[in-house]
Amino acid sequence: MNKRIILNLWIKGAAVACLALSTLNTFAQQQNSQPNIVVVYTDDWGYSDLGIHGIRDDILTPNIDQLAQSGVLFTDGYVTAPQCAPSRAGFLTCKYQQRFGFDSIPSLPLKAEEKTVANHLKGFGYRTGMIGKWHLDIGALGGEWAKEHYPDALVKRGSRETVDVDAVPANVKKTYEPGQRGFDEYYWGRSNDYIVNFPPHQNTESGVAITVGGDRVDQKTEASLDFIERNANQKKPFFLYTAYYAPHTPSTPSKHYLDQIPAQESQQRRKGLALMLAVDTGVGKIVNKLKELNIYDNTIVLFVSDNGAPLADFIDTPEGKVAYSLVDENHPAYTKGKRLRWDGSHNEPLNGDKGLLTEGGIRVPMVMSWPNKIKSGQTCGKPVNTLDLAKTFLSAAGDVSTLPELDGVNLLPYLNGQDDSDLLQRPMFWRFYTQSAVRKGKWKLLLVSDQMEFLFDLDQDKEEKNNVIEQYPEVAGALRKTLTTWAGKMTPAKLPSGPLQPPEVLKYKLYFSQE
């Protein structure tokens, strides 16, 4: 072989090696540029309970306020349902949950064929972790699922068919638990009892929990810090979903947090403030851990509640069942041993509460930070929802065009200077029991079955006190058509109609004086 041939072969080999090295470098750069993602999802935390909102002066959230100042505060941030399970189903699939028939808690569990954002992120090369409240597994109220998949577990309770969860085999239950829904690691549970598959506690046998002592909020914070510490600065970026079971009742804050809350007119308010302080402390520890590990600047951190605070309950009177405000601790129901649903949080100035498609049920505290990509100190007053948050971090992590059809909008261009006026032109939708709603720009149409209709100008009336449907019939008609078209593409393909359910009609009487 002459020298020229040898030289040509050497040059070709070097070119191939350079190309391979370039490809590897590009892949490495892509991995290095992918942000870590931390989602803090709270439970029944009302709109007014962020210090940075400036609505109440007794709330202590310095760490969440600082997170908002380092990124963006969404003043018109929404969840996709006014109840925990469907709200989580929408966010964790990045789809309107009505697409797969998950309107409310009786729709449990999340269908096995539905992919979660954790599944998608694993496909993008992420290590994934879930801590806290899951609430998408088989539940006692999931009678619809049991009828189709495991009728032997059906139990009749009054007029309702419920599920004897203990009668469902462990291997069947496992299908719907975090480990089968895209999460590599999990530490899931609400208070003290957790199913865990990572150190220092490990128990991978489905349905068998370990008991952890201490404060229920601090438990989840410590597990979050452990996950971050073990997965930081590895070859893979990480996604952590921390779902605190707070300030949801039972209101049992530890003395450490309760002692930091001054005496309140309402003891329940004081307990709620203590639980929210515990969560805020956890957010501060998570952010500090990210900074300590030098990964904070390239980490997306989200804070959001699953729905508004519950503010009303029902009491039997000689005239029948009526709704009453839980905030009134002098109400006779308090002296009759009535289970307390109010967790001490507030939704003011918004109307309504958890379980309603009023602003108080679906507009929630919402914050996002990513120092590397999102300019600090922003306030976004355009309507956005949790589908947008999920679409945003998925878009930051990889090529979403390779994924099945998702809902939501990638907000990053808008948060970096792109004209965001088109966010006012796209509608957002809700459907829950006998209620449905659509918001487009400043207008919101709210239908309660086919018996009540409300139209609100949220720019002028975010408290939803003035129903202007008679003044703007053409606006209402256009929105009704848009809502009907959307519902026709969901499962089931219709708007709610027929008799009102007692909880809705009683609550709407309470909040809107509808007789």
Q: Which of 395, 422, 449 is the last residue of a domain?
A: 422
228: in domain: yes
Are 63 and 126 part of one and the same domain? yes
449: domain CATH number is 3.30.1120.10
Between strands 366-369 and 72-74, the pairing is antiparallel
pLDDT at 8: 53
Structure tokens at 43: 């439970």
> How buried is 418 (Cβ within 10 angstroms: 0-12 exposed, 13-18 middle, 19+ buried)?
exposed
Give the model's pLDDT for residue 211: 87
Q: Are residues 250 and 355 in the same domain?
A: yes
Residue ending a domain, among 399, 422, 445, is 422
Task: Give the list of residues 6+ apart from residue 98 with CB closer than 8 angstroms, or none.
Answer: 429, 431, 487, 490, 491
Sequence-ordered strand ranges (E) for 86-203? 127-132, 154-157, 160-163, 185-188, 193-198, 201-203
* Residue 69 forms part of a structural domain: yes
Q: What share of the chain is helix, strand, coil (3-state, %, to 5)?
A: 40, 20, 40
Predicted TM-score (pTM) of the model is 0.91
Mark residue 311 as left, alpha or beta (left: phi above 0; alpha: psi -120 to 50; beta: remaining).
Answer: alpha
- CATH number for the domain spanning 410: value is 3.40.720.10
Same domain, 127 and 69: yes
Is 289 in contact with 310 (CB distance < 8 Å)? no
Tell me the pLDDT of the chain averaged across its residues. Answer: 90
Q: Which residues of the chain have pLDDT under 70?
A: 1-32, 204-207, 319, 328-340, 514-515
Domain count, the chain: 3
Q: Which amino acid type is present at position 366? A: M
Q: Specify if 7 maps to a domain.
A: no
Specify the pLDDT at position 208: 74
Strand-pair category, 210-211 with 238-247: unpaired
Residue 418 covered by a domain: yes
Domain membership of residue 452 (yes or no) is yes
- The whole-number pLDDT of residue 499 equals 78
Question: 112 and 65, same structural domain?
Answer: yes
Same domain, 350 and 399: yes
* Statement to judge: residues 474 and 417 lie in one domain: no
Do you find a cis peptide bond into 332, omega within 30 degrees of 0?
Answer: no
Does residue 329 lie within any of the structural domains? no
Output the pLDDT for position 10. 53
417 plus 460 within the same structural domain: no
Which residue range(s) make up the domain with 439? 427-512
Quick one: which of 246, 185, 186 has its CA closest to 216? 246
pLDDT of 205:
66
The confidence score (pLDDT) of residue 313 equals 76
What CA–CA distances, in Å, run from 20 to 24, 51, 130, 237?
A: 6, 52, 36, 23
Q: Do 361 and 470 fall within a single domain?
A: no
- Whether 193 and 49 map to the same domain: the answer is yes
